[in-house]
Chain A
Amino acid sequence: MTERERMLRRIQATQFALWELHVYRDTHPACREAAAKYKETEARLKERRAQYEEKYGPLDERTETGNRWAWIRNPWPWQLEEED
């Protein structure tokens, strides 16, 4: 596994935790415990995404990195690193 993949996996794990809380809160909008966990996870994700994007380019089109080539050239999610 490359360093890029390792960093991406940590983002995937954090974002999954955040998503799980998000869907849970659809049916439990008043749950304070979930709200606190959501906030905490959100902050961690923001930090991890910023670290990744600075090094490897944008994860979505909202990121302002000015690096057009990174979006086009960096591997797409279905591609394996050794492919090209």
Chain B
Amino acid sequence: MFVYEKKLQYPVRIKNPNAALAKLISAQYGGPNGELGASLRYLSQRYAMPYPELTAVLNDIGTEELGHLEMVGTIVYQLTRGLSPEEIDKQGFGAYFIDHTTGIYPADANGTPFSAAALAVSGDPVADLTEDLAAEQKARLVYDNILRFCDDPDVKDPIRFLREREIVHFQRFGEALRLLTDRLDVKNVYAFNPSFDKKKRR
């Protein structure tokens, strides 16, 4: 169950439209390292977590990523407001515009639609949490790459916030992985899959 809050996690208020930048940032809406993939990955992985702290981390970070998806959608929306068809074409947004006008559609920066292949749900908590550590780093580097192309302070500010959240989430996932391996066989944490091979663990 989710409750909607009528506000963003961090404010987004962009004065100047810039469709070229919107196209790059839309990568974090529907690209392989984006917020849609992150939220669905963690919210889908949480079912197989064998310890309560791990379930809580995946549940809560997955929920926060939905808030980030809303922030990225807001950035793309505000960057494409009030433009003429000529400006849209000149700023390299024409190919997107043909199918989606200025609606917000989950695709990567090349226009390839969102793919669930980016979710990576293995049912093995060591594999999933290690995947999540990498996922946070990949999202962080995409934000770093976005910042290379971005000189508008209205856009940089929320992008920096999102970038910092990836680093905090990386930290929490690292702690979660440690909590997990501490409870497994010290000589071989891979001796079995604690989500599947042993029942009723708490």
Cβ of B33 under 8 Å from chain A: no
Known: A27-B172, A59-B6, A60-B5. Contact between A78 and B11, CB under 8 A? no
Q: Are A23 and B4 in contact (CB under 8 A)?
A: no
Known: A23-B64, A27-B53. Contact between A77 and B168, CB under 8 A? no
Which residues of chain B are within 8 angstroms of A8 by Cβ–Cβ distance? 7, 11
Cβ of A20 under 8 Å from chain B: yes
Which residues of chain A are within 8 angstroms of B74 by Cβ–Cβ distance? 77-78
Q: Are A12 and B8 in contact (CB under 8 A)?
A: yes
Which residues of chain B are within 8 angstroms of A61 by Cβ–Cβ distance? 3-4
Which residues of chain A are within 8 angstroms of B190 by Cβ–Cβ distance? none
A35 to B5, CA, bound (A): 24
Q: Are A12 and B10 in contact (CB under 8 A)?
A: yes
Most central of A12, A23, A29, A59 by chain B CB within 10 Å? A23
Interface residues on B, range: 20 to 34
Which residues of chain B are within 8 angstroms of A9 by Cβ–Cβ distance? 11
A8 to B10, CA, bound (A): 10
Q: Are B172 and A77 in contact (CB under 8 A)?
A: no
Most central of A11, A24, A62, A80 by chain B CB within 10 Å? A80
Q: Are B179 and A77 in contact (CB under 8 A)?
A: no
Cβ of B13 under 8 Å from chain A: yes
A55 to B91, CA, bound (A): 41
Which residues of chain A are within 8 angstroms of B13 by Cβ–Cβ distance? 80
Q: Are A59 and B12 in contact (CB under 8 A)?
A: no
Q: Are B60 and A74 in contact (CB under 8 A)?
A: no
A16 to B73, CA, bound (A): 19
CB distance from B62 to the nearest CB of A (A): 11
Query: Contact partner of A19 among B3, B11, B64, B179, CB < 8 A?
Result: B64
Which residue of A has the minimal Cβ distance to B82? A83
CB distance from B11 to the nearest CB of A (A): 6
Give 10 closest A-B pairs by Cβ, nearest first.
Answer: A78-B74, A27-B175, A26-B56, A77-B8, A26-B57, A60-B5, A23-B60, A78-B77, A59-B6, A77-B7
Which residues of B line the A interface, CB within 8 A? 3-13, 53, 56-57, 60-61, 64, 70, 73-74, 77-78, 168, 172, 175-176, 179
Add 13 more A-B contacts to A12-B11, A22-B60, A26-B56 (CB < 8 A): A8-B7, A9-B11, A23-B61, A24-B172, A27-B176, A27-B179, A28-B175, A58-B6, A59-B7, A60-B4, A71-B6, A78-B12, A80-B78
